[in-house]
Amino acid sequence: MNTLNDLIAAARRQAVAGPLADTRAEGARVMGICNSCRYCEGYCAVFPAMERRVEFSGADLDFLANLCHNCGACYYACQYAPPHAFGVNVPRALARLRLQSYERFAWPRGLAGLYRRQGTAIAFALALALALFFALAIALAGPRGFVSAHAGAGSFYAVLPHGLMVAIFGASFLFSLAALAVGAVRCWREINVPGPNAAPASSAATAQATRDALTLRYLDGGGDGCYVQNGLDFAPTSQRRLLHHLLFYGFLLCFAATGVGTIYHYGFGRQAPYGSFSLPTLLGTAGGLGIVAGAAGLLWLRRVRDEALADPAQAPLDRGLLHLLLWTAASGLLLALLRVSPLMPTLLAVHLGFVLAFFLLLPYGKFVHGVYRSLALAKHAREARTPNPVGFADS
């Protein structure tokens, strides 16, 4: 029986995670076990997408990893989760793959390391941006102008000229947009490989993917919601989905406020700050409140969430983006509130510092998850409209 015993031992090694298991090997191992089980098929898009594959290439894994919304349902339902010897933890295995995919898609590649040094990156970007705006404001408005009250339309631009702001933010925003676009192209090329799961574009698929992204459909764990605390003792909730909606739609409202402001500025010659009941102020206030509530709520949920579901290496990414958004929004709200006070120039510099730091790190932080997940949803919506290429005779 030696032969068989040797083989048994080898097979056990194959199915049991080692501490040094490479992320992709672990992803393929876990998906292999899941593909033989399939109990979690109803939870989200990951498992139906998995069932269209027999082997899991790096591209397949990047696709599945970015498709996962980390709701945690499959982990608590898993008969092979620790303490089982198979040690299956799909949310964590896919989270690790996601981080690696962010790094691989990053442009320029030299900045990919920022994902792993997020704390340093944020501190550096923030210090730089704050220093820049304080120095500019003090230099341009003069030390006295910097600590006195300003009032009326154009008062922001008395501290920092409009053209200068446009130049700084325009340049940084365009750079970040370009970096995000390159990342998106790299991601799409990776996950949309030719092969049995190549599928044509269709407006129905695009509409489906857009709906799935905007509603965070797969953060509902198949209907009951997303797990925060451990699923042995606690039921899933809709908290994460709601808070993410507040955050994301708050962000969109702030974006809309900026857009309307731009139209006011160039189209009608009306200069910021705008009145309390003007459209940009209303949109910005609602959006800012949404971001503050959403970001603060998600930060709090992070503290109570079962750590089994997360990749510890990514905690700084999550916290970093949430804090940048939270303090950008909070300083913006405060600025709107105190826009006619001696604190205005200081608050303006602080707010602009946060906005700039946020813009600069857009392509090198958690923000990219939205881009890559949307692309994965698009890929899934396309291939799900074609027959499963791995059709077993179901006898």
Partner 1 sequence: MGLPVGDVDVLVAGGGNAALAAALTAREAGASVLLLEASPKLWRGGNSQHTRNLRCMHAAPEDVLTDAYSEDEYFDDLLRVTGGRTDEALARLTIRSSAQVRRWMRAHGVRFQPSLGGTLHLARTNAFFLGGGKALVNTYYQAAQRLGVKVHYDAEVEDVEIEDGRFRAAQVRHDGATLRMPARSFVAAAGGFESNREWLREAWGEAADNFLIRGTRFNQGRLLRALLARGAQAIGDPTQCHAVAIDARAPLYDGGIVTRLDCVSLGIVVNREAQRFYDEGEDFWPKRYAIWGRLVAQQPEQLAFSIIDSKALGRFMPPVFEGYRAGSIVELAGTLGLDAGRLRATVERFNAAVQPGRFDHALLDDCATAGLSPAKTHWARELDAPPYFGFPLRPGITFTYLGVKIDEQARVQLASGKIASNLFAAGEIMAGNVLGQGYLAGIGMTIGTVFGRIAGAEAASAALRTAGAR
Stretch that binds partner 1, among 158-166, 179-187, 217-225, 357-365 (CB under 8 A): 217-225
Considering beta carbons, is residue 88 or 283 the nearer one to partner 1? 88
Q: C-beta of 388: minimal distance to partner 1 in Å?
A: 8
Considering beta carbons, is residue 110 or 223 the nearer one to partner 1? 223
Residue 56 touching partner 1 (CB under 8 A): no
Judged by CB under 8 A, the residue of 210, 237, 238, 388 near partner 1 is 388
Residue 117 touching partner 1 (CB under 8 A): no
Stretch 229-268: interaction string toward partner 1, x if CB under 8 A: --xxxxx---------------------------------
Contact between residue 123 and residue 239 where contact means Cβ atoms under 8 Å apart:
no
Judged by CB under 8 A, the residue of 22, 57, 84, 135 near partner 1 is 84
Stretch 16-55: interaction string toward partner 1, x if CB under 8 A: ----------------xx-xxxxxxxxx----x--x--x-
Look-up of token digits 């501290």: 159
Judged by CB under 8 A, the residue of 145, 161, 222, 370 near partner 1 is 222
Judged by CB under 8 A, the residue of 113, 345, 381, 395 near partner 1 is 395
Residue 282 touching partner 1 (CB under 8 A): no
Q: C-beta of 69: minimal distance to partner 1 in Å?
A: 16
Stretch 119-148: interaction string toward partner 1, x if CB under 8 A: ------------------------------
Q: C-beta of 8: minimal distance to partner 1 in Å?
A: 5
Judged by CB under 8 A, the residue of 22, 57, 85, 139 near partner 1 is 85
Residue 77 touching partner 1 (CB under 8 A): yes
Residue 394 touching partner 1 (CB under 8 A): yes
Judged by CB under 8 A, the residue of 18, 19, 20, 83 near partner 1 is 83
Residue 224 touching partner 1 (CB under 8 A): yes
